[in-house]
Structure 1
């Protein structure tokens, strides 16, 4: 069993269309607020969406490494 801890901030979207880059703004804003207690590195950003993600958001997530798009397939079946 791993004892590693990962901190993340997430946002879930139930839209009928794929989620795009503008949906990163709110979790990024929340991550920038002063925390009551720091847990180490900045939290990662999770975006959960039932209808998937646009190509531009997926490319941005790949480029950055701190953003993790999670669609229904991954929610129910893993990576």
Structure 2
């Protein structure tokens, strides 16, 4: 039996405005502070927001494979 371990860094926002690229930049900065030898592969970046996300952030997430925006619909109904 093999197991796969994935490391992630996340941020949750409970604001009235959609999450945007500054939130992603903050997570990228935090990921850059981690010592690579301790986490192996670069951690995925998870963004949780009750008010959704800006178009810029969604396009960036679509372009990349390491960013996951999670809105209320996805939190409660899955995807």
Runs (5+) with no aligned partner, structure 1: none
Judging by fraction of residues, say which structure has more helix.
Answer: 2
TM-score by length of 1: 0.88
Q: Does 1:16 align with 2:16?
A: yes
2:19 & 2:3 partners in 1: Cα distance? 33
Runs of 4+ in 1 over 3 A off after TM superposition: none
Partner of 1:5: 5
Q: Mapping of 1:1-79 within 5 angstroms? A: 3-35=3-35, 38-79=38-79
TM-score by length of 2: 0.88
1:24 & 1:53 partners in 2: Cα distance? 11
2:17 & 2:63 partners in 1: Cα distance? 23
Query: Over residues 52-71 of structure 1, what are the superposed CA-to-partner deviations in whole Å (9 max), with x where a residue is unaligned?
Result: 00111000001111110000
2:28 & 2:6 partners in 1: Cα distance? 17
